[in-house]
Structures are given as structure tokens and as C-alpha cells.
């Protein structure tokens, strides 16, 4: 009895700690404008990433019989459409999609017309890119390598856009002008501010050893965060916090995912680039690792639980819930 009472006391104390100390923090994070904007903005890239992933599976299925069959039917160069075409146009532009999506989501959260913010952010991102001698742009920072830069540019651009409009530093047209046109003139002054800002940032970093803002963010922010977020300790903390948030009634996947998904997605893209180059994959923990090994069936790998509920539970209600979950 004393042992049972002790267990209950410890559990009650832990629950009380979570409710009193942890729940307020979780609630604050779940309502954070920037985290929700990152989450909603990055989701924009999900459809093309899925398509790109499916295409890679079709092209690179590691079965000799399959590869030999495809070569015999379509020729040695049958995968011409994979890496240089479809992959470059889907998973190879996730940073560009991220800068559009995050700026859109953040501007919308400020109750501002979101499309101009996306256009300004994309323009700012290109201002910061290193140009080739012929005046073109290298695609290195279109994909995962530029993901964190894209998020930084999108957030700052949307905030400047919101600030300038709130200060009434805008061109106002008569009410008779269609809203679609009026909104673009409203965005004219904010666009000038953001363009000037990113030109100044580019000039400043040209004077440093990094040469570009993109290289600075990649080396100082993205690489260390990816190393921590894909390591054993970082992964454990993320998964623990995800479950702890659910325990106190907060959507853990939304909060933790807002922070960790960019890191895990970047790791996926870096692995993909390494595979394409024929080198060792640098990261074990990626978005796919988390989805297929840790969150299989939901937070806590609950797929097995749904089968137990569906076929082994004595309660008809639990059986119904389990079968519905599987379906």
C-alpha cells in the first residue's frame, strides 16, 4: 500500500508540474505567430516534395531486375527526366517555395494582403543570391541549403511590410480603384523598403569572409542546428517534448514540428544531394526517419496500438475506434 501511495504521489506531482509549469509554455508556443507561420508556410512545399520523392523511387528503385528491365525497354538514358528535370523542379526549389509560403502566412497573420509580401520576400531572396559571371544564378541555394535563409528572409520581409503599412507610409488610392490594384500600390513603399534593406545586407556581407548572407546563415545557423536537431540528444528532446505536449492537451506535433521540421527536411535534402553525388549520407535522423520509425501511426508510434484496439480489445466501442483509425 505504501509503495502504491508513493507511486501515486510521484505521478500526481509530475502531472501537477506539467500543468502548472509546462502547460503555460506550451500554450504560448502553440499561439506563437512565427512558429505557426513557419509551419503553415513550409506546408506549401509538401505536395511537390511528395511528387519528387515518388519520382525518385520510380527512377532509383534498388532492384537489378527492375533497372535492367527499364534499360531494355527505354534505353540506357531512361532516367533523363529524374535528377536534372523533375527533381530540380520539385525538391530542388524547396527554399524558393518556403520563402513564398512563410512570408504569405506571416503577412496573413498580421491581417495584411499576403501576396505582395510573398513577392517581396522572393525578390529579397534573389537579391541575396550569389550571381554567376554570366549574370545568372546558381541553384545551390534553391534547395535545402537555402531553407533557413528563406525562412529568415520571409520573416523579416513580412515584418517590414507589416510595419510600414501600420505606420501609414503607403500610397492610398481612391475607393473607386479595384482592391486588387489598390493593394499593389499599398505595397509599393514597403517593397522599396525591403528591396533597399536586402541590398544593404548583401553589400555588408560582401565585405566579410562569408561573401554572401546565404553562406553566413548556412554556416552559422543551419549547419549547427541541423547537427543538433539530427543528433541523438536533440531527437530525444524533440520526441519527449512532443509527447509531453500531448500529455497536457496541446498539439505536440504542431509545436515541435514548427521548430524541428525545417531541420529534418533540410537533413533529408542534404542526404538526397549526397546520394545524387554518390557520397555517404551525412544524416541518420531525417523527416522520413521521424515519420516512419518514431511517428508511425501518429505521435508515439501508435499504429500498433490501433491494431490492438481494433482486434484484441474487449470493448466494442474501442474496437470501432481502432478500426476507424486504421481506415
Residue-wise pLDDT for 253-286, tens only, equals 777 887 888 888 889 888 888 888 888 999 999 9
Judge whether 147 and 266 are in contact, CB under 8 Å: yes
Where does the pLDDT of residue 79 fall: very low under 50, low under 70, confident under 90, or very high at 90 and above? confident
pTM above 0.95, yes or no: no
Most confident range, picked from 25-34, 69-78, 95-104, 255-264:
95-104
CB-based burial label for 44 (10 Å; 0-12, 13-18, 19+): middle
- 3-class DSSP state of 137: strand
| CA-to-CA separations, 35 to 38, 234, 254, in angstroms, rounded | 5, 18, 9
Largest CA distance in the chain: 80
Q: pLDDT > 90: what percent of the chain?
A: 29
215/83: higher pLDDT: 215
- Grid coordinates representing 186 are 499599398
Q: Distance between CA 323 and CA 309 in Å, rounded? A: 8
Query: Does the pLDDT at position 7 exceed 60?
Result: no
Q: What is the DSSP letter of 212?
A: S
User: Half-sphere exposure of residue 37, counting CA atoms within 13 Å on the CB side?
Assistant: 26
Give the torsion sign (CA, 100, 102, 106, 111).
positive
Query: Does the pLDDT at position 298 exceed 80?
Result: no
286/292: higher pLDDT: 286
DSSP string, 103-155: HHHHHHHTTS-HHHHHHHHHHHHHHHSPBPTTS-B-SGGGSGGGHHHHHHHHH
Q: Give the pLDDT score at 11.
A: 67
Query: Does the pLDDT at position 160 exceed 90?
Result: yes
Q: pLDDT > 70: what percent of the chain?
A: 95
Q: Give the pLDDT score at 57.
A: 86
**Alpha helices for 248-283 (secondary structure H):** 252-277
Amino acid at each position: 500500500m505504501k509503495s502504491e501511495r508513493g507511486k501515486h504521489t510521484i505521478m500526481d506531482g509530475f502531472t501537477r508540474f506539467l500543468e502548472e509549469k509546462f502547460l503555460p509554455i506550451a500554450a504560448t508556443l502553440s499561439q506563437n505567430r512565427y512558429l505557426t507561420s513557419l509551419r503553415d508556410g513550409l506546408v506549401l512545399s509538401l505536395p511537390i516534395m511528395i511528387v519528387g520523392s515518388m519520382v525518385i523511387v520510380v527512377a532509383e528503385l534498388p532492384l537489378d531486375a527492375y533497372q535492367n528491365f527499364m534499360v531494355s525497354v527505354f534505353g540506357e538514358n531512361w532516367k533523363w527526366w529524374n535528377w536534372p528535370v523533375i527533381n530540380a523542379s520539385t525538391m530542388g526549389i524547396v527554399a524558393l517555395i518556403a520563402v513564398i509560403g512563410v512570408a504569405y502566412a506571416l503577412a496573413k497573420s498580421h491581417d495584411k494582403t499576403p501576396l505582395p509580401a510573398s513577392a517581396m520576400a522572393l525578390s529579397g531572396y534573389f537579391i541575396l543570391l550569389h550571381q554567376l559571371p554570366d549574370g545568372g544564378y546558381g541553384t545551390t541555394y534553391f534547395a535545402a541549403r537555402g531553407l533557413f535563409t528563406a525562412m529568415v528572409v520571409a520573416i523579416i520581409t513580412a515584418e517590414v511590410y507589416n510595419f510600414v503599412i501600420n505606420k501609414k507610409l503607403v500610397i492610398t488610392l481612391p475607393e473607386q480603384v479595384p482592391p486588387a490594384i489598390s493593394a499593389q500600390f499599398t505595397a509599393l513603399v514597403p517593397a522599396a523598403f525591403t528591396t533597399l534593406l536586402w541590398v544593404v545586407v548583401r553589400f555588408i556581407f560582401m565585405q566579410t569572409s562569408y561573401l554572401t548572407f546565404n553562406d553566413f546563415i548556412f554556416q552559422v545557423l543551419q549547419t549547427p542546428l541541423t547537427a543538433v536537431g539530427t543528433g541523438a540528444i536533440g531527437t530525444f528532446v524533440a520526441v519527449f517534448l512532443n509527447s509531453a505536449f500531448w500529455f497536457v492537451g496541446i498539439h505536440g506535433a504542431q509545436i515541435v514540428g514548427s521548430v524541428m521540421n525545417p531541420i529534418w527536411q533540410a537533413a533529408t535534402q542534404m542526404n538526397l544531394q549526397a546520394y545524387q553525388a554518390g557520397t555517404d549520407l551525412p544524416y541518420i535522423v531525417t523527416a522520413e526517419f521521424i515519420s516512419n520509425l518514431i511517428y508511425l501511426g501518429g505521435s508515439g508510434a501508435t499504429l500498433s496500438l490501433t491494431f490492438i484496439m481494433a482486434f484484441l480489445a474487449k470493448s466494442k466501442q474501442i474496437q470501432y475506434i481502432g478500426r476507424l483509425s486504421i481506415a
